Amino acid sequence: MFTKMKNIDTAFRYVRGFTMLVIVGCIMISCYTLYKSFESVTQMQDKVYILANGKALEAYASERKDNVPVEARDHVKTFHKFFFTLDPDDKVIKTNITKALYLADDSAKRIYDDLKENGFYSGIISGNISQTIQIDSIAIDIREYPYRFKCFAKQNIIRTTSIVKRNLVTEGSLRNVSRSDNNPHGFLIERWNTIENKDLAVENRK
């Protein structure tokens, strides 16, 4: 009788030990699976897909701080391209200005409103004037936030009888905002103002 009980007790211990091993094994497998899942998600987050010519191209994302100078310069360049590229077409002007104002605060909006009130844009249309801009350089100081910038550019103002080449220097600061379709770099230009905007040369058109 006692031998039977002893055998049952031994068998129970074996079963209990085996069950514990199975449970521990399941926990370890679950932990490993979770770890690999998080690792895979992290790796996927480090990849971005860029649509170019209808094809998805894979690229690798980097820390924002590594790209601040590059992204900041492109943000400033894009803003100035939209704000200062004008043609004698009200729709073109509104489209470009709208895109520009997504990238800057009310300091840019105030300048736009002043120009509009003074008849600058209506003069562009009535005079059949086109305006282009060429960015020479953009200086960004990322040592202190918000990041200060200075933009050096040249303008070409094409009139019916002449082409005016003009020097343009502006300054402002950049603060971080959420990225969006209208603001892909996630910066906002603040305290934007023009330091210099003077004629360099006037060329008569033939």
- pLDDT for 35-84, tens place per residue? 776 665 555 444 554 444 544 444 544 455 668 899 999 999 999 999 99
Mean pLDDT for 100-109 is 97
Please give the pLDDT value at position 25. Answer: 74
- Domain assignment of residue 193, yes or no: yes
How many Cβ atoms sit within 10 Å of the Cβ of residue 168? 20
Same-domain pairing of 93 and 189: yes
Kindly state the average pLDDT of the residues 6-34: 73
Cα separation, 48 vs 62, whole angstroms: 10
141 and 194 in a common domain: yes
Mean pLDDT of all residues in 167-189: 95
Q: How far apart are CA 75 and CA 70, in angstroms?
A: 9
Question: Are 70 and 149 contacting, i.e. CB atoms less than 8 angstroms apart?
Answer: no
Q: How many folded domains does the chain comprise?
A: 2
Q: How far is it, in rounded angstroms, from Cα 67 to Cα 140?
A: 12
Are residues 108 and 169 located together in one domain of the fold?
Answer: yes
Let me know whether 105 and 137 are in one domain: yes
- Say whether both 34 and 108 belong to one domain: no
CA 118 from centre of chain: 33
Residues 144 and 189 in one domain: yes
Distances (CA, A) of 196 to 109, 130, 139, 158, 193: 19, 20, 15, 20, 9
- Cis amide prior to 146 (ω within 30 degrees): yes
Element (H, E) at 16: helix 2-45
Range of the domain at 32: 2-48
Bigger pLDDT: 16 vs 186? 186
- Report yes or no on 58 lying in a domain: no
Statement to judge: residues 130 and 38 lie in one domain: no
CA distance 57 to 20: 49
- Give just the sign of the alpha carbon dihedral 47, 49, 50, 55: positive
Instruction: Give pTM, 2 decimals.
Output: 0.70
As a whole number of angstroms, the distance between CA 162 and CA 199 comes to: 13
Do 168 and 102 lie in a common domain? yes
pLDDT score at 20 = 77
154 and 193, same domain (yes or no): yes
**DSSP three-state, residue 103:** coil
Query: pLDDT value at position 206?
Result: 78
Residue 125 pLDDT: 96
pLDDT band for 87, please (50, 70, 90 cuts). Answer: very high
Q: What is the pLDDT of residue 57?
A: 47
Question: Quick one: pLDDT band at residue 23, thresholds 50, 70, 90?
Answer: confident
Average pLDDT over residues 82-92: 96
Percentage of the chain modeled with pLDDT above 70: 78
What kind and span of H or E run contains 12?
helix 2-45
The answer to the question of residue 97 being in a domain is: yes
Mean pLDDT for the chain overall: 85
Decide if pLDDT at 90 tops 80: yes
Q: Do 81 and 22 fall into the same domain?
A: no
Strand order in the sheet with 162-176: 130-141, 147-158, 162-176, 187-204
Alpha-carbon span 12 to 157, nearest angstrom: 94
Residues 121 and 161 in one domain: yes
Of 15-19, 104-108, 137-141, 199-203, the poorest mean pLDDT is in: 15-19
Extract the tokens encoding 97: 């200005």
Judge if 37 and 93 occupy the same domain: no
